[in-house]
Structure 1
Amino acid sequence: MRHGDRRSLTGRGATAPRPTIKDIAARCGVHPSTVSRALSPAMKHLVAADVAERIQAEANALGYRLNMAAKGLRTGRSGLIGVLAPDIADPGFPPVLSGLAEHLNAEGYATIVVDVGTGGSQQDLVDSLIARGVDGLVLATVRLHDDVVAHSVGASTPVVLVNRVDAAGELPSAASDDAAGMRLAVDHLVALGHRRIGHVAGPQEISTGARRRAGFEASIADSGLSLGDAPIEAATAYTRAAGREAGLRLLGRKARPTAIVAANDLLALGVYDALAASGLTCPADVSVVGHNDMPFVDLVSPPLTTVRIAQREMGATAARLLLARIRSPDAANEHVVLQPELIIRASTARPRS
């Protein structure tokens, strides 16, 4: 190399050295450990607010970015959380994920979302995420009796459940009170004067399907109505198509129900399709109640009366449970049950006399 060529190392083509915590500390006149704490969401509270603000401003000015790989080597943690979703296309899941990610991001974690869908092995996906070094797992995919639960209990990685629960309660969970949701729906229809109320149940191997069905039956009995006047058809999946098929079976009964409670909103939209295919209208001929209050059900025709579950809060609660489990792996399982509320819209009315 000629002597003059050395200028290219510091010219326009040179790469500026990456700023470090020591650089920020020198500019702010503090110890590097103070900078480290100020830039960590989990440790920031240990630094005076004005000092943390000054450090963050200097870090932004320098273009400092936390080196997660280096941090992982120091702490033994990746800062990543794996999330197994039952169907990423289901409009009901994004609010749960939003609450989950917002709470985790505030604590310095990023999420990896895996869409389980209808294929693949949950156990393989769990193992794949663990192999990638995630610090914890959130499962929204388990069945009541699921081998992946025992598999997860035996893993060294903390795991919590969201929206669904396992029958034995072996993992911490955040879910809605399914029985209370059904009671809200049935009580509303009974108050309107309905005496023949049908139910499109969800898949019975899933806690939301089984518990909402049990809640429906209990609410019918407590209302003094006959279970014989409360026909139930179980859908094979939480999809609009499955709701249509189950709805058609209900509407085809000799004593047609004057109202139908669906185990979730997609099933309720399937009931709308079944009514249209049968030449019936909602709510003039049959009232319909959904469950979950997923986005945009207030925009369908007629706007859907439904049971609103606290989806964002559920996600945030699952994140809190997981972070607690990461900090204390041997802590007792906590099961948080969130209360739903009834949202009355135009899909329910008094039955025809």
Structure 2
Amino acid sequence: MLQLPSEKGDVPLYMQIADTLRRLIDDRTLKPGEKIPPTRELRDRFDVSTITVEAGLKVLVDEKYLVRHPRRGTFINPALAWQGARQVSEKLVIRIVFGGIDLNDRYWFIVLNALEGSPKLAKADKLFCRLRPGVPDGEQIDRLAEGCSGLVLCGYTPRALIEGLSERRKPFVMIGGLDSDAPAQVEIDAVVHDDIHRAFLSTRHLLDLEHRRICCVAGPAGSRLAGDIETGYRAALKEYNLPRSAAMIVPVAAHTIKAGFEAGLKLLTASPRPSAVFACDDRLAVGVAKAALHLGFRIPEDLSLVGCGNQDIARILSPELTTTPSYPERSAEIAVDKLFGQLNDPQHRRSRTVLQITELVIGGTTRIWRPSPELSERLIHSNRI
């Protein structure tokens, strides 16, 4: 039987129950995430009434020591695994980490604004940091995990960080993917776009327009995103019974106009030259367009072009870029819900939410492939550059 402290005879019994359980939680006799005995069992152990037990438990629920789940029971708050209960009850601290992305990127700017404006995070302290290039070591992972309730990982996250946070039982959620094509060895909460189907739709659109020499510009090289883009691109070629050798893939290190321009110069002066380009980011597509215009090609008469993301930059081209949409606000909303699922539910099941891409935003940069008579002259000229 659990014993109430006899020296606190002037303290109400329900408060003595709360104090006793709080002490057991603080000294880890009762561990974070553990289910506590049902009320009737606590009633018998403390030798008090059911009403008294319920009143004591309510105190600890209000203090965030306990969390209750209908039909499942009452649990020690899993947040106590990474910081003291009084800190949890007073302040939620969320660290937002950016990895492998340009902080001036419009997409991630929208994600950041959505996280900052999230009603669930309105009372939370939000800390922002950027990952250093390379694989994080244990000391760096400790610094990221320390002093926060949970993390939102944005961009391209190293697998070592995912596995390190999991080992430390630190709640986290990903918006985006891993920085390598190798899968994580742990279950994670993540929000991603269906980039395989995005690439399939974009490539099939060009195939429907009778293009057969379609180049795919994908990156960051070696990332999960690049792998998914290539998978969708190859699937569309296969659907049209094109041989595997028909694939033309140009890897890039970053999603920038400069990287797109350099890729465009390379692929447009190669032989055979593509009649269409699908780029995995609108900025890359704009860079390819700049290279095409620099070499004297017309869009879409000589080169059809499809981007990704439906970013503002897609509309600076004339004609406007054909592209596919992305959903940064929805990504942030789902990520916050997943993170709070971990914070509030010791039995939360981690999962990967895939946002479906089902449409193209048709601009003026694609058309049916009909090579013009004067194109050969410009090809000869471009190949001399």
* Among 151, 155, 159, the residue aligned to 1:137: 151
Specify the SS of the correspondent of 1:162.
strand
Cα distance in 1 between the residues matched to 2:342 and 2:334: 12
Q: Which moved more, 1:97-106 or 1:280-289?
A: 97-106
Distance 1:222 1:152, change over 3 A: same
Structure 1 letter corresponding to 2:349: A
Unaligned runs of 5+ in 2: 1-83, 372-385
- Please tell me the residue identity of whatever aligns with 2:361: I
Give the Cα–Cα distance (whole angstroms) in 2 for the partners of residues 116 and 88 of structure 1: 12
Which residue number in structure 1 is paired with residue 353 of structure 2?
A: 336
Moved segments of 4+, more than 4 Å: 104-107, 117-126
Letter in 2 for 1:343: V
Secondary structure of 1:343's counterpart equals: coil
Find the partner of 1:79 among 63, 73, 92: 92
**Relative to structure 1, is the Cα distance of residues 335 and 350 closer, same or farther in structure 2, using a 3 angstrom cutoff?**
same
**Residue aligning to 2:335:** 318
Contact kept, 8 Å, 1:72 with 1:79, in 2: the verdict is no
CA 1:305–1:72 in 2, change beyond 3 Å: closer, same or farther? farther
Extract unaligned runs of 5+ from structure 1. Answer: 1-70
Partner of 1:50: none
Q: Which of residues 125, 131, 142 in structure 2 aligns to 1:116?
A: 131
CA shift, 1:128, in A, is 3.0
- When Rg is computed on C-alpha atoms for both structures, the one with the higher figure is 2
Is contact 1:98-1:315 (8 Å) kept?
Answer: no
Who is 2:19 aligned against?
none
CA distance 1:232–1:155, change in 2 (3 Å): same
Corresponding residue number in structure 2 for 1:18: none
| Structure 2 counterpart of 1:9 | none
For the pair 1:168 / 2:189, whether they are aligned, the reply is no
User: SS of the counterpart of 1:305?
Assistant: coil
The question of 1:308 aligning with 2:325 is answered: yes
Q: 1:320 to 1:252 in 2, by over 3 A?
A: same
Residues 186-205 of structure 1 mapped to structure 2, 5 A cutoff: 186-205=203-222
> Structure 1-normalised TM-score?
0.72
2:136/2:160 contact within 8 Å kept: no
Conservation of the 8 A alpha-carbon contact between 2:135 and 2:160: no
Given candidates 227, 245, 266, the residue that maps to 2:283 is 266
AA partner of residue 128 (structure 1): R
SS at match of 1:214: helix
Residue of structure 2 in register with 1:348 after alignment: 366
Greater displacement, 303-312 / 293-302: 293-302
Look up the equivalent residue of 1:352 and give its one-letter code.
Answer: R
Which is worse superposed, 219-228 or 179-188? 219-228
Which stretch shifts more, 309-318 or 110-119? 110-119
After superposition, what is the alpha-carbon deviation per residue over 1:203-256, rounded to whole angstroms, capped at 9, x for unaligned? 233211111111111111112233333311111222222222222222122121
1:297 partner SS? helix
Identical amino acids, percent of aligned pairs: 28
Aligned pair count? 285
Q: 1:102 corresponds to which letter in structure 2?
A: G
Alpha-carbon separation, structure 1, partners of 2:135 and 2:162: 16
* Alignment partner, residue 179 of structure 1: 196
> 2:333 is aligned with what amino acid?
A
TM-score (norm 2): 0.67
